[in-house]
Amino acid sequence: MTPQSLGVAGRGTTARPAEVALLASVFVVAACGLVYELAAGALASYLLGDSVLQFSTVIGTYLFAMGLGSWLSRHVERELVALFLRVELAVGLIGGLMPAALFAAHSVLPAGGGASFRALLYLLVLAVGVLVGLEVPLVMRILKRHFSERYALKELVSQVLTFDYLGALAVAVAFPLLLLPQLGLVRTGVLFGLLNAAVAVWALWLFRGELARWRANALACAAVVLVLAGAMVGADALTSWAEDRFYGDHIIVRESSDYQRVVVTSGPTGVRLYLNGNLQFHSRDEYRYHEALVHPALAAHGAPRKVLVLGGGDGMAVREILKYPSVEQVVLVELDPQILALFRDHELLRRLNADSLHSPKVTVVQADAFTWLDGHDGEMFDAIVIDFPDPTNFSLGKLYTTTFYERVDRHLAASGFAVVQTTSPLIARRSFWTVVATIEATGLAATPYHAHVPSFGEWGFVLMGRRPWQPPRALPPGLRFLTVEGMPALLQFPPDMARVSAQPNRLSNQVLVHTFEEEWGKVHE
């Protein structure tokens, strides 16, 4: 490929190798800068919840820091190349190791660190942003100083910004589709740190004749490359160490899907499933949760034949549903194919769900529940079991809105009931009653209840249907928690969990996400 084909020739003349190298470095540094920004936002959303809030604050802080770095560049008059080289090494080292440092800090700091972790996060984002803000102004000035006869100001700005935006575009596409699924956050950060270091080595060679302390700069380049190469080799060990320390028990599964970080642990007390660091079940007492989730709805129907499960890819709810001889078909809609594969194929996890995902009565659909409901009008179910993660972000919060429950209503038989897990009415009292108000706003009759699950504490559920719910007269045999006699007690709410005023959660406001973050955030302070 000729320099002209790269689009870097000025005023009809052939571009020099140094020009090509500098403009290519703009592409690389733009790509690296965006990766660090995306990695920080993704890691913050994984560890702190509320992805919109975390991405917004991380991006805002990063852009402010870039502006500060650009402003600081005006005070640099001499040794532009030397400064550019040092900036590349610094941003490569700090930005490249930032995901690993944050991941390790979250595991070491008590309860994830709280304010200490946030302070470290934004300090690192500020540092990387300032350094990235210095890069492009320095490249522009180096080009202008060395090739002033070839560039008018408008041509210089156009060339540099074109390569800058192309680099950002390339990474914006590659980060979610290729980098994160294949490399993970830690390796992705280190890889782009090495690219920044490569730009520094490139500058060291291109401008070797004008660098006063060439040997010192060469040693600095070698040191940074060695540190980052070591981090790349040790990325898996670091991730394993951090997760082992954070989760405590022996980790038997650790993998990242397109949607979440999945960790399964096994210890003396049993098996636990974590999604993005949040406990989803403990084998010691998950039967309490799943019996409370499934049986009040299905037993009240009497003889359900066709049941829909939204979420619940672990197969535990399906296990309980298959205890009804009348059930002929269960449709399970789960977004994450890796969760389905894990609980369908892993021997230990198959035992936990009693091989429910292999039942001929079960049809598994890998799809977004919100979209699937909208595309299957006319398909009716005697019972619908909704087992989603808590509304920690807006993508999950949409599954707790009036719009979503209206779609559920369209698929519910006249005599049927739907049920949704609804966080803790003790810890997140307003969040719980917000879901109740949301269901009532759709015109469905809502019946809130709660059960004690030791791993979670008091946990809430809400039944919904077109007719009032009545306690069932019989339950399937062999249940370990629920009884017909004890079921009315689940509907009693003591004063500290009693109903409070709450507005419905709608797509247009997503008040539940804010309320949930506020209430659960106090627990971790």
How far apart (Å, rounded) are the C-alpha atoms in residues 446 and 31? 50
What are the angstrom distances between the C-alpha of 310 and each of 404, 417, 420, 441? Answer: 12, 14, 9, 21
DSSP element (H, E) containing 26: helix 17-48
CA distances (Å), 123 to each of 83, 126, 140, in order? Answer: 22, 5, 27
Q: What are phi and psi of 213, to 5 degrees?
A: -115, 65
* Distance, CA of 303 to chain centre: 39
- Taking Cα atoms as reference points, which of 489, 482, 452 lies closest to residue 296? 482
Secondary structure (DSSP) of 213-270: THHHHHHHHHHHHHHHHHHHHTHHHHHHHHHHHHH-SEEEEEEE-SS-EEEEEEETTE
Q: Around Cβ 304, how many Cβ atoms within 10 Å?
A: 23
Tokens of 112: 């994830």
Other Cβ atoms less than 10 A from the Cβ of 115: the count is 9
> And the tokens for 126?
């500020």
Beta strand 278-282 with 362-366: parallel, antiparallel or unpaired?
A: unpaired
The whole-angstrom distance between residue 387's C-alpha and the CA centroid of its chain comes to 18
Q: Any idea what DSSP says for residue 491?
A: G
CB-based contacts of 39: which residues, under 8 Å, 6+ apart? 98, 99, 185, 188, 189
Query: Do 509 and 394 touch, CB atoms closer than 8 A?
Result: no
CA distance 438 to 454: 27
Q: Which residues are catalytic?
A: 387
